[in-house]
Structure 1
Amino acid sequence: MPKTSTDTLWELAVAELQSRESGGAEEDGGETVVSERTVFMIGSKAGGKTSILLRCLDRDEAPKPTLALEYTFGRRARGHNAPKDIAHLWELGGGTFLSDLVQIPINPLAIRSLSVILVLDLSKPNALWSTMERMLQAAQTQVEKAYSQAQQAGKPQARTKTSFHPAMRNLPKDYPDRELITPFPVPLLIIGSKYDMFQEMDPEKKKVVSKTLRFVAHYYAASLIFTSIKSENMMSKTRSFFSHLAFGLDRGKSVSFDSAKPLIIPAGSDSLSQIGSPPATNVDIGSLHARNPMDLWKKVYEIVFPTESSSERKELMEPAKDPQYNEPHVDAMRSQKDQELEQYKKNAAKSWKGLELEA
């Protein structure tokens, strides 16, 4: 059914999702079915997600603050006169505050062709672990829920198109440390953003961040890359990883494990033996009580980079105080209503006191 000019972006997005038949190119009655994939970008608040996405799509436009959850799409032709593959691209703004919205892009229809990109702001190492932990937990929980919904739908398509268990993502038998890691249920790319600011950090602290993210990426069977929108060379390599998830293209052969340089580590290239033990400077690892390897790395990391105070996070979680949502008329009305509410509370308090005296 042709789309009219009155269709909104959201309507088009819903229609695209509902019409998806597969996550890869197939032959259907002699006709090539267009490949459609879904990429969900999450991560640090103001961490550069939009800027990275625009650069990966080669769009020359100024990035704007992401309001809640935003959708766009990318297209790429496989060859001359060939149909264009489609990538459905979702971006979650607000950091961890709006993590409940993961249920929109992570749904039973998208689960088979879904991949996740986690963008972590390297210039704010104290918020890095908590952001990573909360965002991945929210995404993983929703992936498993979407899988269950697809299985319970009872439709042939749900059984055939999503006939895999996301908690048991298939890895090659020779994948490094296959029995010791817990793969993320769908393909995962971790991007360390703002490397231009990160490289000015103390070398020892840089090693802690780099080594920790190497462990996290390997534990989840994810790819890891550090980047900066100010470097075309780094963005070119980042674009290769993005295109691999969005369009199934080759992600390139570049690899870098040197903490003094931007890390470029495709999934399956690292190992626990190469990463080594947690960088515990002046810390007795044996004295730390950890439930598992991930918990041990977390404890060591947070000794070097204590998590931000809860009051700071609470302030960020109040959207009415966020300058990017300023609306003069709405703010003025809110202020008036706040004053009316306070007056109502005072009057109500007086009324209750009067009743008590009469009684």
Structure 2
Amino acid sequence: MPRSSDNLWDLAVAEVQAKENTEDESTASAETDRSVFFIGNKNGGKTSIILRCIDRDEAPKPTLALEYTFGRKAKGHNTPKDIAHFWELGGGTSLLDLIQIPITVENIRTFSIVLVLDLSKPNELWHTMDSLLQVTRKRVDKVVADIGKSNSKSANQITQNIWRTVANNHPDRELIDPFPLPLLIIGSKYDIFQDFESEKRKIICKTLRFLSHYFGASLLFTSKAEAHKSVLRAFVNHLAFGQDKSKVVSMDQNKPLIIPAGSDSLSQIGTPPASDGDLRQVSARSPMELWKKTYARAFPPENKNASKDLKDPAKDAQYAERDVDAMRAVKDQELEQYKRNADKSWKSMNLGLHTQ
């Protein structure tokens, strides 16, 4: 309430401050609505991780394409609940076109990525990581560019936020390329991985440490074991609900890796896991290429087209519905007829244009 001693200037200042406080509260309220996008290996455990983190005691089902669910958590007593939107991409690397759907101009400021890599399939690891992150980065760059067309300040702020996980005085600041969104890399099925030979575990651990550090990401190994549940929830809930970051750090390759973003360094990771002679034989133009080629020598990528592994859900016997399938067949025929008619119309239109 204005005081009798306030002059016009004091009243104006108070009004501006009140407006700024209202805007800050509105922004804080908007930030309680976050989105987390799970991508990674097919059958890598993405659904199980999501169910764990939102306390749903149900058996995970195969993810057909792109699926959505949500979770709520209260900040405290008598306070509104935070909402987290969980998106999950199925099919491994076979449905890359769907990545563009969840990432939008409206939600990119509170959007995070969780990349789940199946540790039991080391030959698929690099290809899965590279394919998914490349397409995701391309989509993010496009969305930021779209924002920049109308609000360059907002686009610049999103770009600057990339470096939040890397301290200004970090020795590797000039040597890494942080991912444009908060990124958590999860190595799943640690229970199988821990039985690998020591040298194989070393190569995979060092490689994932390099990749996570290079992308400014957090790294976490986990399995279905109850002992891994609390740490997993802490990392995911930080992204989904803004809860406190996990302070646990473990860089011992004989234990599950737990490395928060910004806490590792190239000096701690060391050189790619190969002999000096082998490294000299590798021709690479960048550290990323060197690590890729070194990893491929130990775990050659499998030559197969991932898209061939994906079945059409409409033709999957486990989802058969006689009436629905019959109607689907009719609609498929109508669609084909529509395409033929549209093609004829387009061709006749072109001919008409050329004769004018």
What is the TM-score when the length of structure 2 is the normalising length? 0.79
Paired AA for residue 294 in structure 1? M
* Equivalent of residue 97 in structure 2, options 89, 97, 100: 100
- List aligned pairs for 1:16-27, cutoff 5 A: 26-27=24-25
Residue number in structure 2 paired with 1:52: 49
Question: How far, CA to CA, are the matches of 1:217 and 1:64 in structure 2?
Answer: 29
Rounded to whole Å, the distance in 1 between the matches of 2:91 and 2:312 is 9
Deviations 1:281-324 (A, max 9, x none): 5861111111210111010101110101125x353145479968
1:236 pairs with one of 220, 230, 236: 230
8 Å Cα contact 2:167/2:262 also seen in 1? no
Are 1:172 and 2:172 matched, yes or no?
A: no
1:251-300: CA deviations, max 9, x gaps?
22111101111000001111000000000158611111112101110101
Paired letter, 2:55 = D
What amino acid sits opposite 2:229 in the alignment?
Answer: M
Give me the whole-angstrom Cα distance separating, in 2, the residues matched to 1:209 and 1:322: 37
| CA distance 1:271–1:82, change in 2 (3 Å) | same
Equivalent position of 2:15 in the other structure: none
Match of 1:95, SS state, is: coil
Instruction: Indicate how the Cα distance of structure 1 residues 32 and 193 shifts in structure 2: closer, same or farther if over 3 A, else same.
Output: closer
The one-letter code matched in structure 1 to 2:187 is: G
**Aligned position for 1:21:** none
CA distance in 2, matches of 1:249, 1:266: 14
1:310 aligns with 2:304: yes
2:261 is aligned to 267
The alignment status of 1:195 with 2:190, answered yes or no, reads yes
2:86 maps to a residue whose letter is L
State yes or no: 1:118 paired with 2:115.
yes
1:143 aligned residue (140, 145, 156): 140
- For 1:169, give the aligned amino acid: I
**Number of matched pairs:** 306
Answer yes or no: is 1:225 the counterpart of 2:220.
yes
* TM-score, normalization by structure 1: 0.78
Which protein is bigger by CA-based radius of gyration? 2
Does structure 1 retain, via aligned residues, the 8 Å contact 2:64–2:313? Answer: no
8 Å Cα contact 1:227/1:262 also seen in 2: yes
User: In 2 relative to 1, CA 72–159 (structure 1 residues): closer, same or farther, beyond 3 Å?
Assistant: farther
User: Structure 1 residues 114, 175: closer, same or farther in 2, change over 3 A?
Assistant: farther
- Kept in 1: contact 2:147–2:154 (CA 8 A): no
- Given that residues 117 and 188 in structure 1 are in contact (C-alpha distance below 8 angstroms), is that contact kept between their aligned partners in structure 2? yes
Q: Which residue of 1 aligns with 2:279?
A: 285
